[in-house]
Amino acid sequence: MRAFLFFLTLVVGAAVGLGLTWVTTVSGYGPGMIRSGPWEAWPKAGTEEADPYARAALARAGELPLELADGLAFVATKDDDGTALDGRCDIRLSGTLPQARFWTLTVTDSRGRLIDNAAGRTGFTSAEVVWNRDGTLDIELGPRARAGNWLPTGARERIELTLRLYDTPVGLASRTSDAPEMPSLVTQHCPWSKT
């Protein structure tokens, strides 16, 4: 009986310990997150002060973070209402962007791979995009070609957007309350919804 109880302790310990480690490193880069609307970023992950969770998550994924003096990446997997971004729907990204010398927007599938499409377009750079006259931006995401700044989503069930700001003062924000205003993401129409 005592052997069984000792064994139980070890099993619970291993399951809790490794399970917790898996959960905390499989998505996101730990507690140093700042949030602005649906966008999430981990400014500290790209510095020497990266916390152990950020280091572990990056090593596990095999990624190198953007060094903060280089730029900062914001990731969105949900729209403003908290609905997961669905590549079969028409989604609009609109609004203003934080100050940066350049930015790039990339659309990927849920595993971070680019989406193949006939237009050969996997994102926009700040130099390619067509701006509105008042300095705001509208980008249309969807499976079918649309007028304006269209980004094909290949009708993937789940998509991820990454907005990378280069040479930006935004990186100085270390708390959500200092986070810059980011563009909104609105799911406009899905093929299964009426009208």
Contact residues toward other proteins (CB under 8 A) are 1, 5-6, 8-21, 24-25, 46-48, 50, 52-53, 55-56, 58-71, 73, 101-102, 104, 106, 108, 112-116, 120, 122-123, 125, 127-128, 162, 164, 166-167
Nearer to other proteins, 129 or 187 (CB): 129
Nearer to other proteins, 4 or 192 (CB): 4
Measuring CA to CA, which residue among 6, 29, 46 is closest to residue 170? 46
In this structure, the number of other CB atoms found within 10 A of the CB of residue 103 comes to 23
Q: What is the per-residue DSSP string for 20-75?
A: HHHHHHHSS--S--EEETTEEE-GGGGSTT--HHHHHHHHHHT--PPPTTTEEEEE
Sign of CA dihedral 23, 28, 33, 35: negative
Q: How far is the CB of 100 from other proteins (least distance, A)?
A: 10
Nearer to other proteins, 63 or 178 (CB): 63
Cβ(42)–Cβ(23) below 8 Å: no
Q: Rounded to whole angstroms, how far apart are CA atoms 107 and 36?
A: 18
Nearer to other proteins, 46 or 187 (CB): 46
What tokens appear for 175 in the block? 């708390």
Q: How far is the CB of 134 from other proteins (least distance, A)?
A: 23
What tokens appear for 174 in the block? 């270390």
Q: How far is the CB of 24 from other proteins (least distance, A)?
A: 7
Q: How far is the CB of 158 from other proteins (least distance, A)?
A: 15
CA angle 126, 129, 132 (to 5 degrees): 110
Q: How far is the CB of 12 from other proteins (least distance, A)?
A: 3
* Amino acid occupying residue 195: T
Q: How far is the CB of 11 from other proteins (least distance, A)?
A: 7
Nearer to other proteins, 48 or 134 (CB): 48
